[in-house]
A = this chain, B = another copy of it.
Amino acid sequence: MKKCTLIHDIAKHLEVSIATVSLVLNGKAKEHRISDALAARVLAYVEEVGYKPNQLVKSLRTGKTHVIGLIIEDISNPFFATIAWFIERHAFARGYRIVYCSTDNDTAKARDLLVMFQDQHLDGYIIAPPAGVEKEIEALLLNNLPVVLFDRYLPGLATDYIVVDGEAGVYQATRHLLDQGLARVAFLTTESEQTQMAARLRGYHRAMREQGLPPSVQRIPLAFGGDKEQSITAIYQFLQAHADCEAIVFANNPLTIFGLEAIARLGRRIPQELAVISFDDNDLFRLHTPTITAVAQPVEALAEALINVLLEKLAPGRPEAPTLQQLVLPLSLVVRQSSVRA
């Protein structure tokens, strides 16, 4: 299959033992008091013939694959794609490879994935979990596999996680609308009850309550990779039924995109007739006419924090009970045209 040099070949050529070569290659020359001269000779020859140890075998022996599983909701969502891009680069730079899979936020699919990955012997996991995978994640944890959740966490599980402060973000966005004297501000969210969506909803409720205004929340169905129409239609119908609605906060990026489509179909003008704010920014929003105000997530910081936390747990010499890292990153409101009444 491969015309590759084996450790045996190089040992024979150098007239030393296999163990010597292995030790030198694994940086344990000093430790085993192998002469510098010999070590150098080994290294030189290995270099010369371009010998590469078989990673599969190495993994079998050491139990480390240097592969990290990245389980996200949907790689075609720019938020996750960008996270993936940053994680990939950082991991790569530190000698780790990434295998990723999209769950489409489907519990069953995520379960399958987690089970499959588990016997792929990945070294660690970065996961944006759907609801209901506590058992599987717990199994990972029990096997002592490092896991970092992000975007949302599982309340019943004491894991590391990194999320953003969605409550504060949406609160600030809603206030920004209320402060302009708008009163009929609606919140359009998904059917998910997970922590990230709950937090965003809380932010909205808090702002409305504070202002003494009745909340108006609508849940919109969201299908992955499939039927955009039903989401657009649902928003369209909401807007028709609530013709007096003055402003909308969308709870995520795809929702905003569908919302813009629905608003365009209705011919409502933004922001004169309807002010709009998106949770989670997007290239599109800078270019849209009008430009769209958004609560921006610190994507790069998030990705970097994720890979750092994970690699730290992977590092040797960790104390047995490392402190749990549960970070909440701040969000920023990027005010553009769509939320500002002239």
A residues sitting closer than 8 Å to B (CB atoms) are 1-3, 52-57, 59-60, 63, 65, 67, 74-76, 78, 81-82, 84-85, 88-89, 92, 97-102, 116, 119-121, 143-144, 225, 257, 260-261, 264, 283-284, 286-289
Do the beta carbons of A257 and B287 come within 8 Å of each other?
A: yes
| Nearest opposing residue in chain B for A121, CB measure | B56
Taking CB as reference atom, which chain B residue is nearest A86? B225
Q: B67 near A99 (CB under 8 angstroms)? A: yes
A interface secondary structure, majority: mixed
CA gap between A78 and B78 in the complex, in Å: 8
Cα of A97 to Cα of B100 in the assembled complex, Å: 9
Tell me if B67 and A75 are in contact (CB < 8 A).
no
**Structural contact, A119 and B54, CB atoms closer than 8 A:** yes
Query: In whole angstroms, what is the CA distance A288 to B285 when docked?
Result: 10
Known contacts A76-B78, A78-B76, A288-B287: A88-B102 contact under CB 8 Å? yes
- A65-B56, A78-B78, A98-B99 as given contacts; A288 in contact with B286, CB under 8 Å: no
A254 to nearest B CB, angstroms? 9
Cβ of A287: which chain B residues have Cβ within 8 Å of it? Answer: 257, 260-261, 264, 284, 288
How close is A227's CB to chain B, nearest CB, in angstroms?
A: 14
Give min CB distance, A296 to chain B, whole Å: 16
Q: Are A55 and B264 in contact (CB under 8 A)?
A: no
CB<8 Å pairs between A and B, sample of 7: A55-B120, A56-B120, A75-B84, A75-B85, A81-B81, A88-B102, A92-B101
Q: Name the one of B78, B84, B99 contacting A97, with C-beta atoms under 8 angstroms.
A: B99
Assess the A55–B289 pair: CB atoms within 8 A: no
Q: Which residues of B are found within 8 Å of A260, using beta-carbon distances?
A: 287
Chain B residue at minimal CB-CB distance from A286 = B261
